[in-house]
Structure 1
Amino acid sequence: MSTQPHSYAADDPEIALKYAIQHIRGDDRVQIVEGVIEPMSPTWGHEKPITKIRRQIESTTDKLGCVIGAGNIDLPGTSNWYIPDMAVVPEHLEEADVVVPDQTLLVVEVTSDSNGDTDRIVKRRRYAEFGAPLYLLVDRQERTCTLFSSPGELGYMKSDSCRFGESLRLPEPFDLELGTSEF
């Protein structure tokens, strides 16, 4: 898919739709999950775990030459265009309009009351299918964190989880204990 400004194949509905949501006027950001356009409007409670995770991994990501953010993630060949709550990508991609999941080092999603199953089921399956090496699910309703790894076409082959208040090991390239007591 081309990410050139104002360039898309009018006869390709996937590309036209993804182009359209990137060019919504104003500050509104939207994602597409299985063909459904969803506005992004996280609450402060939703943002808190992201802030706590960012602070814990920031020095490591700096050493790795990575950037942390909530940029666009495309799943080419599908009607999906995600804006994760947080992702870590190599610094050489910082100017990219969009990345694909296998270009990330870590993707983090935080559940909401309104769409927790999207993060628990749909995004977990799709991130694995498209090769995101690590997917961290912060489940605010269950008060757990689960790290999924070893992606494949049928899903993630490994998972480790903890209750809020415990720590969770982030493997290489991070190689650190993630504290969850402030989530």
Structure 2
Amino acid sequence: MTIAPDTARREPAQYKAMREALESLDDTAPGKFEITREGIVHDMMSPGRPHELTAALISRRMEKVMPDDLLAHTGTPDVEDAPEGVMRHPDVVVVALADMEGEGPFDPRTLLAVIEVVSRSNPDNDWVGKMRDYPLLGIPVYAVFDPRTGTGAVMSDIHRTPGGPRYATRRDFLYGEDVTIAHWTISTDGLPRYEDAGE
């Protein structure tokens, strides 16, 4: 669910106020909050086991084929670009070990790729909102895995459009196929799917 919609570039004071409001809600409200170009997104359901297992398997498979000085990291911190007024929480980020050092959120310009597992409760956040925000943040590769349908896509090649930066290249895949994310190819065999009863 998106709240506080705001498509214009917001003032730094507005973004700071939104950030502080989310920090105050962090331990008291269920789900996950992110700040997007359209406002605050609240995914009211915490990720379930199929979602988390998918992220963990992708992370493990990526790390098996990447150099030792890179990580396919799950968990915190967020990815933030305060001047753009965007704070996102990816499921997996591909980042150099050296860029894990320090405090605070990740600088999106240090990330090699971002991977999202589509949420059953808010799929548009991954397929629409993040498709818009990640090229804006300069993230070169964005991969989406959708356990609802057993499909996914890898986006790359950021280019300028009248509506802002967008990915020019999209490669769709089906679960069971190998998929290349940035420079690394992994199997999608055995990734869990959501059941009708819920995530």
Q: Report the TM range for the smaller structure's normalisation.
A: 0.7 to 0.9
2:153 is the alignment partner of 1:146: yes
Residue 49 (structure 1) shift: 1.3
Match of 1:76 among 82, 86, 106: 82
Counterpart of 1:120 (choices 124, 127, 130) is 127
Deviations 1:85-123 (A, max 9, x none): 111222223233112322211111111222111111110
- % identical aligned pairs: 24
Q: Once the two structures are superposed, what CA deviation does each residue of 1:111-156 show, in whole Å capped at 9, x if it has no partner? A: 1222111111110111012110111101222321211111234311
Report what 1:110 is aligned to. Answer: 117
- Residue equivalent to 2:63: 58
1:36 match: 40
Question: Match for 2:40: what amino acid?
Answer: V
Asked if residue 99 in structure 1 is aligned to residue 103 in structure 2, the reply is no
Hey, what's the Cα distance between the residues in 2 that align with 1:25 and 1:146? 31
Letter of the structure 2 residue corresponding to residue 31 of structure 1: E
Amino acid aligned to 2:189: S
Do the aligned partners of residues 58 and 26 (structure 1) sit closer, same or farther apart at CA in structure 2, a change above 3 Å counting?
same
Work out whether residues 52 and 182 of structure 1, in 8 Å CA contact, stay in contact via their aligned partners in 2: no
Please report how far the alpha carbon of residue 26 of structure 1 lies from its aligned counterpart in structure 2 after TM superposition.
Answer: 3.0
Segments ≥4 residues shifted beyond 4 Å? none
Q: Larger RCO: Structure 1 or Structure 2 (Cα < 8 Å, ≥ 6 residues apart)?
A: 2
| Unaligned ranges ≥5, structure 2 | 1-11, 192-199
When the two structures are aligned, how many residues end up with a matched partner?
A: 170
SS at match of 2:42: strand
What whole-Å deviation, never above 9, does each CA across 1:41-73 have from its counterpart, x for those lacking one?
111111121111011112444513446133211
State which of 164, 167, 174 in structure 2 corresponds to 1:163. 174
1:136 aligns to 2:143 (yes or no) = yes
RMSD: 2.4
Q: Give yes or no for contact 1:135–1:147 (8 Å, CA) kept in 2.
A: yes
Which secondary structure does the structure 2 equivalent of 1:97 belong to? coil
Cα distance between partner residues in 2 of 1:42 and 1:25: 15
Distance 2:127 2:63 in 1: 25
Distance of aligned partners of 1:62 and 1:36 in 2 relative to their CA distance in 1, 3 Å threshold: same
